[in-house]
Structure 1
């Protein structure tokens, strides 16, 4: 989900709810503690230089059980953050504290924002010698001659 899509949805909502991948709704007293632009500049295991940029929302809950983030307030937060985000319509990544900080994608089901599990993947499978149909559990390591491990 992109920033523009979140803004469009917020303009039509009466309440802001986020749902975890298992269907659990975040406590209604959550806060949006950060909105920012995160750029990851890296080299994959095949030697290709890559750069990824996302808009990041950090969600947090505290003991202030009477707190409620209204859609208009969330829109205001996004407007204030425009000076950091710029005009680019980035995909959104959500951070939420669980046993460690979880990173999620974001979608909307018509009523609630849905946090979507993110997965790691090899971006240079052709360099690692991993067959296309293979999964991590089927292939425990790269070939020693591939240079990726």
Structure 2
């Protein structure tokens, strides 16, 4: 989901709710503790330099059970964050505390915001010798690299 899509969805809501990938609802008293700009500058295992930038939201819950983040307040937070995020329509990544900090994508089903699973992948398929068809599978097999094999 992009920032523009989030703003559009928020404009039509009376209340905000988030759901984890397993369908569990986040407690209604969640807080939005951060809105940030995250840039990842890296080299993949094939030696290609890459850069990814996302808008990052951090959701958190505390014992203040009467707290509710209204859609209008969320929109106001997004407006304030423009000075950090800039004018670009960035993809959104959401952090939420579980056993460790979970990173999720974001979608909207017309009623709830859905925290969607994020997956790792090899960005240098040719360098690692992994056939393209392997990436279409829902669960990727664990690849092993051998010395001199051209993989990571």
Alignment TM-score > 0.5, same fold: yes
- Contact 2:129/2:151, CA 8 A, preserved across alignment: no
Q: What corresponds to 1:74 in structure 2?
A: 74
- Contact 1:55/1:85, CA 8 A, preserved across alignment: yes
Equivalent residues in 2 for 1:7-86, closer than 5 Å = 7-86=7-86
| Deviations 1:1-49, CA, capped at 9 Å, x for gaps | 0001101111110000000000001000000000011000000000000
Structure 1 residue ranges, 4+ long, deviating more than 4 angstroms after superposition = none
SS across alignment from 2:105: strand
Give distance in 2, aligned partners of 1:48 and 1:89. 25
- Contact 1:129/1:142, CA 8 A, preserved across alignment: no
Q: How many residues get paired?
A: 148
Q: What is the RMSD of the two structures over their aligned residues, measured on CA atoms?
A: 1.2
SS across alignment from 1:42: strand
- Contact 2:106/2:115, CA 8 A, preserved across alignment: yes
Unpaired segments ≥5 residues, structure 1 = none
Q: What corresponds to 1:105 in structure 2?
A: 105
Name the structure where helix makes up a greater proportion of residues: 2
- Contact 1:30/1:61, CA 8 A, preserved across alignment: yes
